[in-house]
C-alpha cells in the first residue's frame, strides 16, 4: 500500500499527472541527468556547457507576479567594523564550504568572476560592480529522510547565484526541477549598527505586514549539540589581534565596534502537499547556517583580519580546487537535517 501510493505521488511530481511526457518534460529530464554529481575527474566546464545548451542559464529570473509566501529578515550582530569584516565573510564562506563538502555532496564552484551589470534581483535596477559566483549545491544526503524518499533523482540539486557588492550582497537560488515553483532571493546589507534599524530594506506596508524579524545572537542563543566546537565558542574565545572577547550576555551593548548583517529572505516553495513543511525546513536550516557562520567568522578572526582581496582571490582558487578534489570522495561531511 505504501509503495503503491508513493509511486503514484512520484509520477504526479515528475510527469505532471500524465504518463506521456511533453517536450518540455523530456528537456527537464535531460537537465536533471546533467546536474547529477559526476564521479572521478571534475567535469565542471563540460557540465555547464551542456546545461547551457539545453536552455539552462548562469543568470537568474524572478517569475512575473512573484509573491513570496515567506518574508524573513535575519539580523546577526558581530563585534567588528564593516571594513574589518570585508575579508571575513569571504573566509567564512570558504571554510564553511570545505566543512560541508564530501561524499558526492556539498558545494561545486562553477563561476567566480568580476562583473559590472544590472543585477537581476537588485530592486534598484542600477548598474553595479560585483564579484559574481555561481555554485551548484548537491544536497541529496543533507535533507531529511522523508524528502530523500520522495524526491525524484536530480531534484535535490540547487543553483546559487551571488553578486557580492560588499557591503551589499544579492543572492538567488533556483532548482531546475521545480522551476518557478521554487523561488528564493536574498538581499544582504552589512551596517555599522547593532541591528536596531527597523526597515533597512525599505519594504512596503504590505511587505512589512508579512515580514518576520529573527535576531540571531551567535553568543547567547543555544548551539545545536551537533554543531558545537569548543574552538568556536564566542563565550570563551579571545582574539589576539583585536583584544576583543570573550563575549557575554550583554556584549552587543558593551562592545565597540559593532556591526550587523541584515539578510532579507523572500521565499516561495510550491510543492503539492509539502509546501508548509518544505518552507519550514528551509527557514530552520537558514537560521542554523547563519548562527554557525557567525561563530566561525568571529572565532577565526585572527586568521583573516587584514587579508587583502588579492589574498582572498588566491584562497578562493585554492578552495575551488580543494572542493573539486574532495567532493567525489570520502563520506558526507558537515551539516545535515534528519
pLDDT tens profile 187-210: 999 999 999 999 999 999 999 999
pLDDT of residue 66: 79
Residue 175 in this model has a pLDDT that exceeds 70: yes
Mean pLDDT, the chain, whole residue set = 84
Q: Count of CB atoms within 10 A of residue 156's CB?
A: 20
Residue 2 in this model has a pLDDT that exceeds 60: no
CA separation for the pair 232, 227 (Å, rounded): 10
Residue 157 in this model has a pLDDT that exceeds 50: yes
Cis peptide before 246 (omega within 30 of 0): yes
pLDDT band at 118 (very low <50, low <70, confident <90, very high): very high
CA separation for the pair 83, 335 (Å, rounded): 29
CA separation for the pair 302, 202 (Å, rounded): 35
For the ranges 125-134, 149-158, 204-213, 238-247, the lowest mean pLDDT is seen at 149-158
31 vs 264 pLDDT, higher one: 264
Residue 61 in this model has a pLDDT that exceeds 80: no
pLDDT band at 7 (very low <50, low <70, confident <90, very high): very low
pTM, to two decimals:
0.81
pLDDT of residue 215: 98
21 vs 151 pLDDT, higher one: 151
Residue 321 in this model has a pLDDT that exceeds 90: yes
CA separation for the pair 290, 288 (Å, rounded): 6
pLDDT of residue 60: 53
Domain 70-329 falls in which CATH fold?
A: Alpha-D-Glucose-1,6-Bisphosphate; Chain A, domain 4 (3.30.530)
Alpha-carbon dihedral of residues 255, 261, 264, 267, nearest 10 degrees?
-110
Amino acid at each position: 500500500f505504501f509503495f503503491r501510493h508513493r509511486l503514484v505521488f512520484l509520477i504526479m511530481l515528475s510527469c505532471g499527472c500524465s504518463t506521456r511526457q511533453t517536450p518540455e518534460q523530456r528537456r527537464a529530464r535531460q537537465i536533471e541527468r546533467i546536474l547529477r554529481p559526476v564521479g572521478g575527474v571534475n567535469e565542471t566546464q563540460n557540465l555547464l556547457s551542456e546545461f547551457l545548451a539545453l536552455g539552462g542559464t548562469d543568470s537568474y529570473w524572478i517569475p512575473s507576479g512573484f509573491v513570496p509566501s515567506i518574508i524573513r529578515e535575519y539580523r546577526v550582530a558581530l563585534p567588528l567594523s564593516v571594513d574589518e569584516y570585508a575579508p571575513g565573510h569571504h573566509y567564512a564562506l570558504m571554510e564553511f564550504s570545505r566543512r560541508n563538502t564530501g561524499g558526492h555532496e556539498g558545494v561545486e564552484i562553477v563561476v567566480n568572476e568580476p562583473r559590472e551589470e544590472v543585477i537581476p534581483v537588485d530592486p534598484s535596477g542600477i548598474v553595479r560592480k560585483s564579484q559574481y559566483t555561481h555554485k551548484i549545491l548537491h544536497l541529496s544526503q543533507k535533507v531529511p529522510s522523508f524528502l530523500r524518499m520522495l524526491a525524484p533523482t536530480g531534484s535535490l540539486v540547487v543553483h546559487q547565484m551571488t553578486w557580492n557588492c560588499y557591503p551589499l550582497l544579492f543572492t538567488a537560488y533556483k532548482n531546475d526541477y521545480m522551476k518557478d515553483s521554487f523561488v528564493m532571493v536574498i538581499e544582504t546589507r552589512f551596517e555599522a549598527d547593532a541591528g536596531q534599524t527597523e526597515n533597512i530594506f525599505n519594504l512596503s506596508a504590505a511587505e512589512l505586514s508579512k515580514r518576520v524579524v529573527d535576531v540571531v545572537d551567535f553568543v547567547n542563543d543555544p548551539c545545536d549539540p551537533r554543531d558545537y566546537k569548543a574552538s568556536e565558542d564566542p563565550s570563551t574565545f579571545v582574539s589576539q589581534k583585536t583584544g576583543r572577547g570573550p563575549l557575554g550576555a550583554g556584549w552587543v551593548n558593551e562592545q565597540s565596534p559593532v556591526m550587523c548583517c541584515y539578510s532579507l529572505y523572500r521565499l516561495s516553495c510550491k510543492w503539492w502537499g509539502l509546501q508548509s513543511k518544505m518552507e519550514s525546513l528551509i527557514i530552520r536550516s537558514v537560521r542554523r547556517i547563519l548562527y554557525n557562520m557567525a561563530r566561525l567568522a568571529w572565532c577565526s578572526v585572527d586568521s583573516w583580519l587584514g587579508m587583502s582581496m588579492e589574498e582572498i582571490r588566491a584562497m578562493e582558487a585554492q578552495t575551488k580546487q580543494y572542493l573539486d578534489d574532495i567532493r567525489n570522495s570520502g563520506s558526507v561531511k558537515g551539516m545535515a537535517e534528519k
